[in-house]
């Protein structure tokens, strides 16, 4: 009886989580770049570091359940890079001292617009998505 009550209480939470609209992240820059070329999409690269609490909050608030998520998934290949990760990425091109940092590149790895560095809010990202076409 107790387990069935727990299940009934947790079921809506589980269903809501499944329905959450979120960015589909890749963590391998080279694979993402190949997909961007193949699908004729741009790259959106988010650089974070492990011990950055603000980075996790940014992912939770800015990249989940926002009205622009569908547009990101449709027009960009999203790449989530953690500082000092094993797989390679163009560190010289995507160099930053501020985390998180969000870069917008075309599929030839050229900047579409300037990066967003530091806190990334939903309003700021939405504006960037309109400007960086």
Report the pLDDT value the prediction gives residue 132, as an integer from 0 to 100: 79
DSSP state of 64: B
Instruction: Please report, in angstroms and rounded to a whole number, the separation of the first and last CA atoms in the chain.
Output: 55
| CA pair distance 95, 76, nearest whole angstrom | 20
Contacts by 17-21, CB closer than 8 A, 24 or more apart: 20/64, 20/65, 21/64, 21/65, 21/66, 21/69, 21/70
> Hey, where are the domains in the chain?
29-132
Radius of gyration of the chain (CA): 17
Report the pLDDT value the prediction gives residue 90, as an integer from 0 to 100: 74
CATH architecture of 29-132: 3-Layer(aba) Sandwich (3.40)
The yes-or-no verdict on residue 113 having pLDDT over 80 is yes
Instruction: Tell if the pTM clears 0.85, that is, is over it.
Output: no
Q: Are 75 and 42 in contact (CB under 8 A)?
A: yes
Report the pLDDT value the prediction gives residue 5, as an integer from 0 to 100: 44
| CA pair distance 77, 75, nearest whole angstrom | 7
Q: pLDDT band for position 79 (50/70/90)?
A: very high
For 17-48, what is each residue's pLDDT tens digit?
A: 444 689 999 999 999 999 999 999 999 999 99
């Amino acid at each position: 009886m107790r387990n069935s009550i727990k299940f009934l209480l947790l079921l809506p939470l589980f269903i809501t989580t499944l329905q959450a609209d979120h960015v589909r992240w890749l963590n391998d820059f080279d694979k993402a770049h190949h997909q961007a070329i193949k699908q004729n999409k741009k790259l959106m690269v988010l650089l974070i570091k492990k011990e950055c609490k603000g980075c996790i909050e940014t992912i939770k608030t800015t990249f989940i359940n926002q009205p622009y998520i569908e547009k990101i998934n449709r027009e960009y290949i999203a790449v989530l890079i953690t500082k000092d990760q094993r797989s390679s990425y163009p560190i010289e091109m995507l160099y930053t001292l501020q985390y998180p940092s969000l870069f917008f590149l075309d599929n030839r790895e050229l900047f579409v617009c300037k990066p967003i560095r530091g806190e990334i809010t939903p309003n700021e990202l939405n504006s960037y998505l309109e400007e960086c076409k």
